[in-house]
């Protein structure tokens, strides 16, 4: 493998990288190398939707990052799981099919990113989508990444829906419509009872192409330059350093944590930071690693007075046997769905023109996502603010690529974020205290004995956790934005032959789960790279 050369090198075999590997290798004239730090996606827990609870803690498949002590969270360190296998976080995530709001992408365009408005990105969302139920004009049933409906109604979700309806929130069967507001069942990134990661959807059909080379268990260290042109990547595989050359482009798709880390290790980033570690500065770009955004979630847990939760099925051998048989015989039941079934988007702030909070309703309860379920019948309402104002950063703390960077989200940094969080908790509790949902509830487990705004905010600081959506750390933007790392073609400013294609490129966080936006981004980037479309 030493000193091999390819047209394109893609660093990171995750949600965006698998898409790029497929699309760039469709033309047999293009030689493509995909580099992934983790192993192949062979674990059965990846492919079984409920296996999320296992992969959440598996160091072989998960980077298991920890943030710096966060002042907004009473100096707690927050656990940040990220996928470390083919498929990346799409192999370990919660499977939710959400695009975000039309206004999110029009906002990207209006920030000086031509070609990224809603009308521009919708064709790429549809190119990716293979929906089991929804079709034109907003959806497609022909794409590789499957979006499946939950086939069976659940009494808890039904009560949740009826309660929300009585509070003025309409039912919806499509959260990816032009109007996101509503309550209903999520569609999931599954197919016939199995997870449909980007490795399954995009990489599996392409992996036998002779012009595509896939390297697993290979850690990217830094981008190599000749003058200011990216010419390759230095990697470590089985403890041995190797050089891989790129004749056309190097594309970083390592995610919002590791793409900025690799740039900084390569001499692209804030010069003051790079000088601390004696890294020669190739290009002084102060925005590399800045503008970090994430969705902070709060888990409200309730005990039920009926044995209708997944806790009950998991707590008995008979329940587990039935779950297993449902999946083996029919590819149905809880094993085929995962954790969250019900969703809700609404507004809690007076100035919000579109939904500003999102619910994930889980038919089980545990102290944290992927944790051991409680011994009682329980469920969880997780609620998050969709468009936080708080900004954090990713910064290397060593020149050693095997040392994780410092991660600080600065959660709840702004008063608006604090006010929205308090309003979100109040709304969730009001929902739980209203009929018909209230009739199913024995007690509020979490938060308990919390009443005043100050107490609610303290609950947020003490128990809030990531919902796994870090973005923005290599934002695209116009020349007039000194913090913009990329142009609207996702090219790194000041150098040649280098792009970033993943959630770090997003200037602002989409209103919802980020997996599908990451796929859309890579679909459009593929056309940009191949010259099939320009930024208008």
Residues 6 or more apart in contact with residue 186 via CB below 8 angstroms: 96, 97, 98, 150, 175, 340, 341, 342, 343, 360
**What percent of the chain has a predicted confidence (pLDDT) above 70?**
97
Mean pLDDT across the stretch 489-508?
98
Nearest one of 47, 44, 174, 96 to 362, comparing CA atoms: 96
Greatest Cα pair distance, the chain, in angstroms, is: 69
Residue 39: exposure state from Cβ atoms within 10 A (0-12, 13-18, ≥19): middle
Residue 289 pLDDT > 50: yes
Helices (H), 266-307: 271-276
Rounded distance between C-alpha atoms, residue 447 and residue 429, angstroms: 9
Residue 70 pLDDT > 80: yes
- Residue 299 dihedral angles phi and psi, to the nearest 5°: -100, 115
Count of C-beta atoms within a 10 Å radius of residue 386: 23
Angle at 320 between CA 314 and CA 323, to 5 degrees: 105
Contact 22, 519 (CB under 8 A): no
Rounded distance between C-alpha atoms, residue 473 and residue 492, angstroms: 12
Q: Is the dihedral of CA 380, 336, 372, 75 positive or negative?
A: negative
Mean pLDDT across the stretch 320-336?
75
Query: DSSP readout, 119-169?
Result: HHHHHHHHHHEEESS--TTT--SSSSEEEEE--S--HHHHHHHHHHHHTTP
Helices (H), 266-355: 271-276, 310-314, 317-330
Residue 236 pLDDT > 60: yes
Rounded distance between C-alpha atoms, residue 324 and residue 281, angstroms: 56
List pLDDT tens digits, range 161-200: 999 999 999 999 999 999 999 999 999 999 999 999 999 9
Domain range summary for the chain, segments of one domain joined by + = 1-113+195-294+389-409+469-536, 151-185+296-385+412-463
pLDDT at 200: 98
Rounded distance between C-alpha atoms, residue 190 and residue 206, angstroms: 19
State the average pLDDT for the chain: 95
Residue 71: exposure state from Cβ atoms within 10 A (0-12, 13-18, ≥19): middle
Helices (H), 142-212: 155-166, 198, 204-206
* Of the candidate ranges 105-109, 306-310, 378-382, 438-442, the one whose mean pLDDT is the lowest: 306-310
Half-sphere exposure of residue 222, counting CA atoms within 13 Å on the CB side? 18
- Residue 393 dihedral angles phi and psi, to the nearest 5°: -155, 160
pLDDT at 535: 47
Residue 130 pLDDT > 90: yes
**pLDDT tier, 373 (very low <50, low <70, confident <90, very high otherwise):** confident
**pLDDT tier, 3 (very low <50, low <70, confident <90, very high otherwise):** low
DSSP state at residue 440:
G
Contact 515, 190 (CB under 8 A): no
469 catalytic per annotation: yes
Contact 250, 529 (CB under 8 A): no
pLDDT at 536: 45
Contact 490, 499 (CB under 8 A): yes
pLDDT at 335: 75
> Rounded to two decimals, what is the model's pTM?
0.96
Of the residues 47, 295, 360, 469, only one is catalytic, namely 469
Task: Tell me the C-alpha to C-alpha distance, in Å, between residue 31 and each of 21, 81, 251.
Answer: 10, 32, 14
Mean pLDDT across the stretch 358-365?
94
- Cis geometry, peptide bond prior to residue 447 (ω within 30 degrees of 0): yes
- Cis geometry, peptide bond prior to residue 85 (ω within 30 degrees of 0): no
Contact 215, 242 (CB under 8 A): no
Residue 29 pLDDT > 90: yes
Mean pLDDT across the stretch 137-143?
97
List pLDDT tens digits, range 338-354: 788 999 999 999 999 99
Residue 67 pLDDT > 90: yes
**pLDDT tier, 368 (very low <50, low <70, confident <90, very high otherwise):** confident
At the topology level, CATH places domain 1-113+195-294+389-409+469-536 in FAD/NAD(P)-binding domain (3.50.50)
pLDDT at 317: 67
Residue 321 pLDDT > 90: no
At the topology level, CATH places domain 151-185+296-385+412-463 in Cholesterol Oxidase; domain 2 (3.30.410)
**What percent of the chain has a predicted confidence (pLDDT) above 90?**
87
Half-sphere exposure of residue 498, counting CA atoms within 13 Å on the CB side? 31
DSSP state at residue 533:
-
**pLDDT tier, 119 (very low <50, low <70, confident <90, very high otherwise):** very high
- Residue 382 dihedral angles phi and psi, to the nearest 5°: -95, 130
**pLDDT tier, 313 (very low <50, low <70, confident <90, very high otherwise):** confident
Task: Tell me the C-alpha to C-alpha distance, in Å, between residue 219 and each of 242, 251, 287, 341, 468.
Answer: 10, 15, 24, 36, 22
Rounded distance between C-alpha atoms, residue 30 and residue 248, angstroms: 10
Nearest one of 283, 288, 284 to 262, comparing CA atoms: 288
Rounded distance between C-alpha atoms, residue 37 and residue 215, angstroms: 8
Reduce the DSSP state of residue 250 to 3 states and report it: strand
């Amino acid at each position: 493998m030493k000193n091999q050369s390819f047209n394109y090198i893609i660093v990171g075999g995750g949600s965006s990288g698998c898409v790029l590997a497929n699309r760039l290798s469709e033309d047999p004239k293009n030689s493509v190398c995909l580099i992934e730090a983790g192993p192949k996606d062979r674990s059965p827990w990846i492919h079984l939707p409920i296996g999320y609870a296992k992969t959440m803690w598996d160091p072989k498949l998960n980077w298991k990052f920890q943030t710096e002590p966060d002042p907004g969270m009473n100096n707690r360190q927050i656990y940040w799981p990220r996928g470390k296998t083919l498929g990346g976080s799409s192999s370990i995530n919660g499977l939710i099919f959400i695009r975000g709001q039309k206004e999110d992408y029009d906002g990207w365009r209006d920030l000086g990113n031509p070609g990224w408005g809603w009308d521009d990105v919708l064709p790429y969302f549809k190119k990716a989508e293979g929906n089991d139920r929804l079709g034109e004009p907003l959806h497609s049933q022909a794409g590789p990444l499957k979006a499946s409906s939950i086939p069976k109604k659940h009494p808890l979700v039904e009560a949740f829906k009826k309660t929300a309806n009585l509070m003025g929130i309409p039912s919806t069967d499509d959260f990816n419509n032009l109007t996101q507001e509503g309550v209903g069942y999520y569609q999931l990134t599954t197919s016939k009872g199995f997870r449909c990661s980007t490795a399954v959807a995009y990489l599996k059909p392409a992996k036998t192409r002779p012009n595509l080379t896939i390297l697993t268990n290979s850690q990217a260290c830094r981008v190599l330059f000749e003058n200011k042109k990216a010419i390759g990547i230095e990697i470590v595989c089985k403890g041995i350093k190797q050089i891989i050359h790129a004749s056309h482009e190097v594309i970083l798709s390592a995610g919002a944590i590791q793409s900025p880390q690799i740039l900084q290790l390569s001499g692209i980033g804030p010069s003051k930071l790079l000088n601390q570690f004696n890294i020669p500065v190739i290009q002084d770009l102060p925005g590399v690693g800045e503008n970090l955004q994430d969705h902070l979630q709060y888990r409200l847990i309730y005990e039920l007075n009926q044995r209708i939760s997944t806790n009950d099925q998991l707590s008995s051998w008979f329940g587990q046997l039935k779950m297993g048989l449902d999946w083996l015989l029919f590819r149905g039941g809880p094993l085929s769905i995962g954790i969250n079934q019900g969703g809700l988007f609404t507004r809690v702030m007076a100035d919000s023109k579109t939904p500003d909070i999102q619910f994930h309703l889980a038919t089980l309860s545990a102290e944290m996502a992927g944790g051991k379920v409680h011994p009682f019948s329980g469920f969880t309402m997780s609620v998050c603010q969709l468009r936080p104002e708080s900004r954090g950063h990713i910064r290397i703390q060593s020149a050693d690529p095997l040392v994780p960077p410092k991660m600080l989200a600065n959660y709840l940094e702004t008063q608006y974020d604090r006010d929205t969080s308090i309003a979100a908790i109040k709304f969730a509790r009001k929902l739980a205290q209203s009929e018909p949902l209230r009739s199913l509830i024995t007690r509020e487990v979490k938060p308990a004995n919390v009443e005043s705004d100050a107490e609610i905010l303290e609950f947020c600081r003490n128990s809030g956790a990531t919902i796994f959506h870090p973005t923005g750390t290599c934002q695209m933007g116009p020349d007039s934005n000194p913090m913009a790392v990329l142009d609207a073609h996702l090219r790194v400013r000041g150098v040649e032959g280098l792009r970033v294609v993943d959630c770090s490129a997003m200037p602002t966080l989409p209103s919802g789960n980020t997996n599908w936006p990451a796929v859309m981004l890579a679909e459009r980037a593929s056309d940009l790279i191949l010259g099939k479309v320009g930024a208008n």
